[in-house]
Structure 1
Amino acid sequence: MAITAKQVKELRDSTGAGMMDAKKALTETDGDMEAAVDWLRTKGLAKAAKKSGRTAAEGLVAVKAEGGVAVAVEVNSETDFVARNAEFQQMVGDIAGVAMGVDSTEALADADMGGKSVAAVIQEKVGTIGENMGLRRMSKVTGEGVASYVHGAVVDGMGKIGVIVAFDGDNADFGKQVAMHVAATNPASLNEGDLDPALVEREKQVLTDQARESGKPEQVIEKMIVGRMKKYFEEVTLVNQKFVMNPDLTVGEAAKEAGITITGFARVEVGEGIEKVEEDFAAEVAKTMGG
């Protein structure tokens, strides 16, 4: 029988399943709504979809670096308990391996992993592990050399903060030191030219407004802003920051001494920017146990 758009919408609304899954369920059950719901539940699709509205702000960042390519991948879960689950960790590590061959989060979600898309593999895990998960983002850098660092590692190559660095030259040990520096200082960009112009303009406006409150003449304020913006760039751009391993040098100066030029980096922190609803410990345990 012909499946109508109204039927598909009704099934989606009642189960939270995706459009194509809802249509397939109705097709498989000849339009029987109750049977279609059971079909989705049997496949784990309705169960997974019901969890999709819950905030997934925990999880892991996995890094992988080899052959001049480095990636950092964030896969989220609802609780830290799942982030420490060996099955979840294996999946995240496998996804990072797949990420070495793609260039965007969207391409990674669609990429093949054992005969299924990465997105489909994650969705299956939602059904088996029992809480919402999602591929949030990936970053990739390439260069003559690459290095990586994981802060708060729970297993090798995975933790709460992952950093990857690309550079020209041959000094992998120094590259890792830079990655550790990035984890600690969280620079906004590699250099002044890479900063978001809107971010720069907003900072300049704030500093200008602050200076005007002092009542000083405009020509004095202009000189004040030049100095304050220079300090701002030293604080937020990687090559101009004081190197945590040797504060007497900037990162750029230290890199020059080490014989390399830093060409790119990425810092990925689990849950960064996600608004998380705070729960007490008992509630988190209950959720993990399926309560």
Structure 2
Amino acid sequence: IVLAQVGHKAALVEINSETDFVAKDENFLVFADQVATAALEATNIDALKAAPFPGGGTVEEARAAVIAKIGENVQIRRMVHIESPNEVAGYLHGGRIGVLVEVKGGSAELARGLAMHIAAMNPPHIAEKDVPAEFIAKEKEIELAKMSDKDKSKPPEILEKIISGKINKIINDVTLYGQPYVLDTNETVGNVLKKEGAEVLRFHRLMVGEGIEKVVEDYAAEVMKQAGLA
């Protein structure tokens, strides 16, 4: 994952190689950083591939040149882009995880802290209103099924209160606003934002290889199969 940012404009790009060896190669790293710079002027992956490359030609032509030079396939897999008059922060963690966040109000320091939090905690949603109703309904079913017959026999209003308490905890776990803030675990992110009169409008979090199915070959099983032993 590579990051480029100029003022209130930022981009993250995931670029894949076949091996860790190439991922550490200087040619690959220079290419990746230049692609991130080009992504500042692109809004999607197709536009990025057609965009001018800092060293000349297009990004796609530069990719082909890198492949020819290092002898291994290189793919520009995906990108995200934020351009806004609000605070925009980017954060990279070891080239494996990247985050962009847009914050209305607050400071640049707060926005960067939130980007670090998102990298570490990976919240699926921003706030409770963003959590799908079907997810909440399913969690209620699960929590009810886990309860003892004794608890289930309690008056409906008591039962509802017990279930609501459990659901609220789950909602806090899956929302940015409900999670303890990594830079001050005595406060939730929501409380920190409220104190600064700020709100998170959107964020993107990319992790290398997310969603790519990895084929794991069991060589021992394959040998036994061929030998007629399995």
Report what 1:41 is aligned to.
none
- 2:36 pairs, out of 96, 102, 106, with 96
**Cα distance in 2, alignment partners of residues 263 and 160 from structure 1:** 24
Residue identity opposite 2:78 in structure 1: R
Question: Structure 2 CA distance, aligned partners of 1:254 and 1:210?
Answer: 30
State the distance in 1 between where 2:60 and 2:125 align: 30
Distance across 1 between alignment mates of 2:189 and 2:26: 37
Deviations 1:116-162, CA, capped at 9 Å, x for gaps: 3323322332222112221111112233211122112xxxxxx1111
Deviation at 1:203, TM superposition (A): 5.3
Q: Which amino acid aligns with 2:60?
A: A
Pair 1:274-2:216 in alignment: no
More helix by share: 1
In structure 1, list runs of 5 or more residues that go unmatched: 1-60, 153-158, 280-291
Residue 241 of structure 1: how far off its partner (Å): 1.2
CA deviation profile, 1:238-288 (whole Å, cap 9, x unmatched):
122111111221112112334533222111111122223459xxxxxxxxx
Residue type matched to 2:3 in 1? V
Is residue 2:113 matched to residue 1:180?
no
The residue number in structure 2 matching 1:26 is none
Instruction: Tell me what 1:234 maps to.
Output: 172
Moved more, 222-231 or 241-250: 222-231
> Is the 8 Å Cα contact of residues 151 and 162 (structure 1) preserved in structure 2?
yes
Q: Which stretch of structure 1 is more off in the superposition, 231-240 or 112-121?
A: 112-121
TM-score (norm 2): 0.80
* Residue identity (%): 37
Unaligned runs of 5+ in 2: 218-230
Taking only aligned residues, the RMSD between alpha carbons, in angstroms, comes to: 2.4
* Among candidates 155, 158, 161, match of residue 97 of structure 2: 161
Aligned length: 210
Contact kept in structure 1, 2:139 and 2:167, CA below 8 Å:
no
Could you tell me how far apart the structure 1 residues matched to 2:211 and 2:22 are? 20
Tell me if 1:129 matches 2:70.
yes
Match of 1:194 in 2: 130
Residue 86, structure 1, aligned to residue 26, structure 2: yes
